[in-house]
Amino acid sequence: MSAQTQPRLTPEQYLALDRASDFRNEYYNGCMYAMSGGSPTHAILIAGIGGELRSVLKKGPGQVATSNLRVRVSSAGLYTYPDVVVFCGEMKLAENDKDTLLNPILVLEVLSPSTEAYDRGFKFAQYRMIESLQEYALVSQTEPRVEVFRRQPSGDWLFSKSVGLESAIRFDSVACSIPLAEIYNKLTFPGAGA
C-alpha cells in the first residue's frame, strides 16, 4: 500500500475545517492533525490546574481558558489547543480569526505518554516564538510534578520544577503559587503509599 500525499491547506482552509469539525485539530505548515483524546487523569488535571488558577486570578487581570481555546503561534505556522492557557488584560484575537488567541502569557500542557516528547520539544520550540509568552509549564500525570520554563529578560528560558504533594509551583507571570496537593487533589499514583 502506498502512502498518498495529502493536499496542503492554507491557514484559512484549516480554520474552516477545524470550526466545522466535531473534534479539535492542530495545524502546522500546511497540514492538519486530529488531536487525540486524553485519559481521565489528563482531564482531571486540566480541570484542577485550570480551576486553581481561575480561583487565584479571579480578582486580577488574568483570564484562564482550557483546551477549547485555539492559540496561533504564527499566521503560517502552528495553530494549537493548549490544555490550559492564561492571558492578561485584553484578549487579543487574530484579525480574521475571532476565535484564535494571540497573546497568552502562560501555557500549560498535561503530559501524556504519546505526546510528551512533542510537548517538550517541537511544541515548546514553537511556543517560544510567541512574544507575549512568559511561562510554559508541563504537568505530569505519573507523579505530582510540575515543570516551568520562564522567559528571562535576555530571552533565555530558565527551568524550575516542583515535585511532591507537599510542594507548590510558582507562576511568576501571574504572581501566584499553587500547592501541588490542590492540583493533584484526589489522584493516586501507582506505587504510592495509601
pLDDT digits (tens, 9 = 90+) for 22-31: 888 989 988 8
pLDDT for the residue numbered 96:
73
Q: How confident is the model at residue 5 (pLDDT cuts 50, 70, 90)?
A: low
CA dihedral 91, 63, 126, 71 (to 10 degrees): -50
Q: How confident is the model at residue 7 (pLDDT cuts 50, 70, 90)?
A: confident
- Residue percentage of the chain with pLDDT more than 70: 94
Q: How confident is the model at residue 171 (pLDDT cuts 50, 70, 90)?
A: very high
> Which domains, ranges and CATH numbers included, belong to the chain?
38-183 (3.90.1570.10)
pTM: 0.90
Instruction: Quote the mean pLDDT of the chain.
Output: 90
Residue 146 CA to residue 37 CA, distance in Å, equals 21
Q: Is 59 exposed, middle or buried (0-12, 13-18, 19+ CB in 10 A)?
A: exposed
Of 144 and 67, which is predicted with more confidence?
144
Retrieve residue 26's grid coordinates. 492542530
Q: How confident is the model at residue 95 (pLDDT cuts 50, 70, 90)?
A: confident
pLDDT for the residue numbered 1:
42
- Residue (of 87, 98, 97) closest to 131 by Cα position: 87
Q: Which residues contact 176 (CB under 8 A, 6 or more apart)?
A: 53, 56, 57, 170
Q: What are phi and psi of 34, to 5 degrees?
A: -70, 135
Residue 129 in contact with residue 136, Cβ under 8 Å?
no
